[in-house]
Chain A
C-alpha cells in the first residue's frame, strides 16, 4: 500500500500563548510537536504498512521548523516525505493548504490511502482532510476509530458518533481517512529509527513546484484571550491551605458534600 499521511506541526498546548498585535502568538516561548491526532494517523499508517507492505509518505506544509517533526515521523517508521516550505501555502487558509497537499499527493501518484488527524490542536478546524478528498475526488471518512481491510483496497471503518456510538461503514480505496485519537497507541521512535530518519529523503516543495494556484476563501480578522463572565473563584494559598479552604467551601458555601 502507498499511504500518505498529512501531518501538521503544532505548538505544545501547555505552552504560554502570548498574542502579538492581535494577530499571532509569540513563538519564542513555544515548543512545537506533531499534532496529537496526526500522530495517531502515522501509527495507523505504519500498522497498515506492516500488514500489507508498501510505503508511508509524510506530506506537511509548514515553515522550516516543521522539518523536525516530519523527521520525527520518519523515526517512527515513515519512509520519505514532502515538506511544502512556502509561506504562500502555510500562511494561507485551510482551502489553500488543502489544495497544496492535494497537489503533492497527485504528484506522488498511485496513492491508496490518504490519512490525517481529525483536526489540528491549534486551529481546530477539522476541514483539511475532507477538502483534500474532495479535490482528489475520492471518498472520505472522518473520526475513524477502527480500520479493517483484508487487501488494502476495500475498507470497513468505524466512524465515531456522539455518546459512545460508532457507525460501521464500508468504502473502497483510494480514500481519505481522518483519524480520531485513541485508535491505537502511537509508538515512540527507537534510537536506530532516529539514526535512520536523518538519512531519509525529504523533498522541499514550493507552491510553484506543485502548481498550486488556489487563493484563500476566508480571512482572519484577529485573535484574543477569551473573557468568561463565569470565571471560577480561584482559591489562593499553598496547595494544602487551598485544599482545606476548598473543602470548607464545598461543605458550607456550595453545600454539595
Chain B
C-alpha cells in the first residue's frame, strides 16, 4: 500500500513536539485516504528513527553526514529519494522554521501541490480537505491538492502529540546526495541574558495597538508593576524596539504560562498564541471585535485600550 509520510524534525539530538503532532494526524487520516502512515528521519544515525518508531508503524531512516545538520537542499533530496523508493503518495511536514524553509522545495521536487500552514485535516469522499488560517487568523479557508502526490504542512500545536507505545519497523534508505548549496556555520542565541519572563505569575503584554514606544512605556509597564508582574510584548513591539527581545512572547520568543496574561492591543495571530495560549487566565483588550485573540481569551473587552487601562489601574 502507498504511504503517507511524515518528515521528522530534530535539533541537538532531540525530536520536536511538532514531529509527534504529525504522527497523530497522519495516523488519523491515512486509512481514509487508502494509505499507510510512515515517517522518515534524516540524521547521522538511526537513534532518532528508533525513537520515532514508538509513535508510528513504519520508519525510514536516511543516515548520512549530509543531513547531520538541517539544510533545505539536503532535506529536499532526502524527501525525494524516500518518496521515490517507498511508494509515497503524501508528505506531511511541520510548518516550523525548518519546515517553511524546505517544504515548498520538496513539493516541487516531487511535482506535488502543497497546502501550507494548515490546522486541520479531514477526509471527505476519500479526498484530503485541509483547513488553514487566512487574513491574519480572522478567517479560515479549506483547500485540496489536485496533483497525484501532495505535500501538506501543519501549524505547530494544531494537534496533540501522539502517544508512545508502538514498536514500528525501522529500515534504512540510502540516498546519493548532490550539491548542498548552503553551509551552516553555527546556531546562536539572540536574546541571551535579560529577564526570564517565563517564570512570572502575571504578565502584561502589549502589541501593535499601543501605537508607539512611549505609549508602551506609559501603559504596559505601570500596569505590570501595579499587578506585581512582568511586562512583555508581541513581535511588532520587539521589532520596533519598544522593549528588549528577552520580553518577546510567541513562536520566535518565549513560551509563557502565567496565571494571568493580559493582552493589550494584541491581535492574537497564531505565532503569538503559540507562546501564551497555555496561560491559566487570558484577558484581551482590543478594539477590533474580530481579533483572533478573543477566540482564546477567558475575558475580553472590545474597546480602546487607552480608555480601558486607566480604569483597570483605578480599580486595583
- Contact surface of A with B, Cβ cutoff 8 Å: 11, 13-14, 16-17, 19, 25, 93-95, 118-119, 121-127, 130-131, 133-135, 139-143, 145, 156, 158-172, 181-182, 216-226, 228, 230-235, 239-244, 246-250, 254, 256-257
Contacts and interface: CB of A to CB of B under 8 A. Distances in A.
B129 A221 contact: yes
A-B complex: 4 closest residue pairs judged by Cβ atoms: A243-B311, A217-B113, A182-B239, A232-B300
B135 A224 contact: no
B188 A166 contact: yes
Nearest to B124: A221
Contacts of A247: 312, 315-316
A224 B316 CA distance: 40
B141 interface: yes
A183 B191 CA distance: 15
Contact of A243 (B186, B259, B312): B312
Given A161-B97, A164-B253, A239-B308, A250 B281 contact: yes
Given A221-B141, A239-B304, A118 B100 contact: yes
B189 interface: yes
A140 B267 contact: no
26 contacts: A11-B135, A123-B134, A124-B136, A131-B104, A134-B105, A135-B108, A143-B97, A161-B187, A162-B97, A163-B253, A163-B255, A168-B187, A181-B236, A222-B142, A224-B139, A225-B138, A226-B137, A228-B295, A232-B295, A232-B297, A232-B299, A233-B299, A242-B308, A244-B311, A247-B315, A250-B299
Given A164-B189, A224-B139, A234-B301, 7 more contacts: A127-B114, A161-B11, A161-B187, A218-B144, A228-B294, A232-B298, A233-B300
A224 B101 CA distance: 28
Contacts of A163: 252-255
A181 B259 CA distance: 30
Given A224-B139, A232-B284, A247-B312, A217 B182 contact: no
A59 B134 CA distance: 23
B268 to A, nearest CB: 10
A170 B186 CA distance: 10
Given A123-B134, A223-B139, A254-B260, A218 B114 contact: yes
Contacts of B184: 167-169
Interface in B141-160: 141-147
B132 A124 contact: yes
B187 A165 contact: yes
Contact of A127 (B104, B186, B245, B304): B104
| Chain A contact residues, majority secondary structure | mixed
B227 interface: yes
B93 to A, nearest CB: 11
B142 A239 contact: no
Nearest to B280: A256
Nearest to A156: B185
A231 B295 contact: yes
Given A17-B138, A217-B145, A232-B299, A160 B104 contact: no
B260 A171 contact: no
A162 B108 contact: no
Contact of B100 (A143, A164, A254): A143
Contacts of B255: 163
Nearest to A157: B182
A231 B282 CA distance: 11
Interface in B242-261: 245-246, 248, 251-255, 259-260
A164 B283 CA distance: 25
A125 B117 contact: yes
Contacts of A164: 189-191, 245-246, 248, 252-254
Interface in B206-241: 227, 235-236, 238-239
B237 to A, nearest CB: 10
